[in-house]
Structure 1
Amino acid sequence: MTYDAGSGPRAGLLGGETVRGLPAGVTLLGLLGDDGERLADAGATARSAPAEVHPLAGVRLLAPSRDPPRSGTVCASWTTCAAATGPSAGPPTCTRPGRRPPPSTSGTPPP
């Protein structure tokens, strides 16, 4: 989890009504990308030797990452999709959940 206890965003572990913080500068995003070992090690550290401990009521919960990575395969907009695939490719599709096609799905970007 990511939280702020008054000194900026910090990664930590929630256990019941207690937040156990990891050292400053550690981010959840930085703990991802391997086989889970970094995340597991960070959890063990937060349990056994937290950098700080706060009651849950004393922190503000934040989004896991303020700047998540973006995949080049996810379309920024329907217009971008259509422009990238060209009008002959058919209706643009998008991999973002909850997105709906525009009223006109001709594959041609609007002027």
Structure 2
Amino acid sequence: MTTRSCPCGLPAAYEECCGRYHGGAAAPTAEKLMRSRYSAFVRQDAGYLLRTWHPRTRPERIDFDAGMRWTGLEILQTTDGSAFHSTGSVTFRASYRGGSLHERSRFERVDGAWVYVDGDFLS
């Protein structure tokens, strides 16, 4: 059996990396949550994306673009977001076939768990 590497770019199998968060484990840092959310976009896991979105900014549903093919994630900067913080931000570039998305995402803890709040697109 071949083990697939995780879409988030870390050198681990999906099951041991983002797969455990998709399965219910809490991401320990804002960066790990960001990586797991990227992997959820790759896998089109709307349930996980909605569960890890802050209640005050969460959309009712997520519509995926059937033609979108994510090709890589690069973490450019993290600010706070560890076990010792209540907020954090992650600046990243997510590549897709034909382009890339550059964003600074904000995260907060809600009931002890990291959630995505919102983000600013960067050029």
Structure 1-normalised TM-score?
0.22
Q: Which has the larger strand fraction? A: 2
- Structure possessing the higher radius of gyration over alpha carbons: 1
